[in-house]
Structure formats: structure tokens, C-alpha cells
Structure 1
Amino acid sequence: MRAFAVLAFGLLLCGTAALAQPKSAGTPDPRLVEDLVAANRVLADLGVVDGFGHVSVRHDKDASHYLMSRSMAPALVKADDILEFDLDGVAVDAKGQAVFLERFIHGEIYKARPDVKAVVHSHSPSVIPFGVSKTRLQPIYHMSSFMGVDVPVFEIRGVEGLGSDLLVRNQKLGAALAQVLGTRTVALMRGHGSVTVGTSLPQVVFRAYYAEMNARLQSEAIKLGAVTYLTPEEAAAAAKTNDALVMRPWELWKRKAMKPE
């Protein structure tokens, strides 16, 4: 009887530990929260996200935590909607609100890529055809040079089989997506959308927008005949130049998106 009681107590402790919420890394820089709110609204203004999609940023005080809004339309996000998560996707305090089902995309990429500080997941329409066809997404002009010449496609069937709803709804799927992304900046998700990463919110928004724009232009160019894509050398050189200029469009986009309501 005593042994049973000890065992039950041990299981109780294990269960409590499993359910325990992570401790907060502290109050994030208000400017970081402001930029995260702006990133949500800018991506909506630019047509990269609609009622769906999300963007996150690493916590400025702890790289093992990140910030992302509660589950809601990006265009409606305000500072009060920003939540803190650990890299397993557990909210420090969800405030009784629903959280994004696909938050595991963000946490698993942050685990795999210490260099990444911000992540965008979207269903931007122009990239979808490149994830379901044999035509690969490739940089057609200098603004999309950050993609490099090898944009991979995540095939969820390789992890979940044929019965998946295509959503990255757990750590296993998030880790598989992060592995496909590897060291690149963009990965497509077959029948779903894409994920884009960057070293800052302005950079990741820049990349998410111009990946969508490149897909539009590439589709149009293909209709005209043979396409001349950027070489690896051109892509590398142009990406270096553009990385120094991301604040120019960011300041414009942010000002437009954050106009008083």
C-alpha cells in the first residue's frame, strides 16, 4: 500500500512537471513588441497574409523564448495580443486566449537555427503553384536574390503519410520542416504555403514580400518562354547589397500600416 502511494505521488509530480508553464524571460523591449505588431499589419497590407498566417520574433532577453500574437487575423494584432512562448510552443501565459496551432513551425526553426531571429509563415497565393509543380521557385530579379538558387519544398507526406491535413501541428512536423529549410531563407510547403526566416523583423518581412513578388514575376516570365534566372554569384552579391537596405521599405511599410485608426 505504501509502495502504491509513493508511486502515485511520483506520477503526480511527473504530471505536474509536464504541465508546468515556463517562466517568463521578462518584459521584452517595447520597441520589439511594436515592430512585431507592425510586421503583422505590414504583411497583411502587402497581401502576404490574409486572415491566416503568422510572424514571430525571438525574445530579446532570452533566445530560448519567442514572441507571437494569439491566434487571430494579422491585420488586427495589437500589443496586448502578443504572447511569450518557449521553443516547445508552450505559452508562458496564454491569458485565456487561443494560440496558433502551427506555432511549432517557429519553435523548431529557432531550435535548429540560432542565427534566425524572426519567422514568417504564410499562404501567399503566388508561391503555392511552385510547391505543387515541377517548376522550382528561383530568383528572377535582384530583390529576391536572398532565396538563392535552391528553394526546397517540404513534403508532409514524408512524415505523416497520406492522411495529413497539411498543418504543422506538432514538434515532429516542425522539426521535419526545419530540416528541409536547412540553412536557407525560404522553404515552400506543398499544398500549403511557405516559411521565411531572417535576422530581424524588417528583414523577414522584406523576404516574405519579395518571395511572393518573385513568384508572381516568375509565373509571368514563364509564359513568355525561356527564363534567365540569377546565377548563384549574382544572387549572393545582390543579397548582400539588399541586406543593407531593408530599412528603407520597412520604414515606409510600417508608417502606412500603423496609421491611427
Structure 2
Amino acid sequence: MISIPDSSTPVQDGHLPTRTFGPPVSVVVGTLVVGFVFVVVLEFLVIISFVGQRLWRDPALMHDLVFTLPLILWGLVAAMVTVACLRVLTSWLHLDAEGFELRSLFRRTRPVRWDEVGLVIAARDIDRGATPAEMLDAPETAYDGVYVMDPDDRRLLAVSSRFFGPRAQEMALHRAREAGVRIEHIDAITPAELRRQAPQAMSFVDRHPNLLLAVLLLFYIGHNLLTFIVWGL
């Protein structure tokens, strides 16, 4: 891990990017594709079994729990994926001299002032190994993560270059520097090292993306097996 003091040249206000940031087109398209894959592609056996056999006519549907379970699980998957997609698609980040605010559907929103911030960690490269996030190339000028922490080392905001772009990170760092917040720059670090330094900077999913993928894979395998056993083809 290499940490260097914040010695960046202050950015003139006339050259600052807009202060409101939303997901770029690539994130919007990627979110819609991922949502389609999780709801339709990975649930294809459930859908063709239900539609192909016209199971809505079966008297056991909605009366027998085991017989209805594949449909219930598919409904839960569709609902959770819809909520997750809407959270991403409707998110926007507002940054100004007073503070910041992250808004989206299904998200608790609380404006935060810069005087409530204790530290900003700007990590250029977080080595997560071979993960889906590593396959999405970020611009060379971007940080892997900019984490805004409160005085008790709780995360207030994570500004990802993949979800908001490097210009949002530039604005966050400029506004924090302008407000006199301490900024720690890190050239390279592993998730384990970052967790020791700032335990709440990264979420559980950020620290263990491969574990999440494994759990999702097992769920979809189990759901399709259940569907085949209960409904057949």
C-alpha cells in the first residue's frame, strides 16, 4: 500500500464539471441487460414450463404450496431485480460546496454536509483479483473507489468511476479539499488492507463479489431443479 498526501492543484470553478451526476449510458445498458438475464435467461426453464403447460389453469396453483413454490420464487426474483435495477437507473449524485446527496428510488436519502465528513479515501487501484468488476476497464484517470467517511469511520458515500464516472470523483475530491476535509490518496491496496485501514469503507458485496456470484449460481441451479421436479417440462 502506498499513501501520498493530497497535493493536487486546486481546480478553478470555471473548469469544474457539472455538479449533478447520474449513471452513464454504459451503466444504463448494462443494468438492463443484467436485469433481463437474471429475470428471463436464467429463469427460462421456469417460464417455458409455466407457459408451455398452461399452469395458470391448474387447480393446484395458489392452493398447493409446493406446486406454487417455483412461481413464488420467480416472482421474488423479478421483484428484487426490478428494485435493484431501478435503484441504479434512477440514481443521481449531487455535489456542491455545502455537501452532497445521493438519491434514487428505494433508497433512504439524507443530505450530508462537508463538516460531517472526517476523511476521504481515494484509492487508485483496489486489487480484487479476477472479478466481474475487474473486467470493466475504468479510465486511467479514474480512482477505483473514492470513499467518504464520517469521523467514526462509517461510510457516508462511495463514488465509483464505473457508476458515476471520473468527473464525479474529481468533483467530490475538489469539494472535499475546498471544505478542508482530509484526503488520503492510495496508489494500490488490497480489499483486506483497506478493510484493516477503514473497516466500513467497502460493503460486504464489494469485498466478496465472487462469493455473491457463487450464491446466485447455486440459487438458480436449485430453482431450476425444483421447477423440473415439481412441474417437469
Q: Structure 1 length normalisation: TM-score?
A: 0.26
Q: Structure 2 length normalisation: TM-score?
A: 0.27
Which fold has the larger relative contact order, with Cα–Cα distance below 8 Å and residues 6 or more apart in sequence? 2
Larger radius of gyration: 2
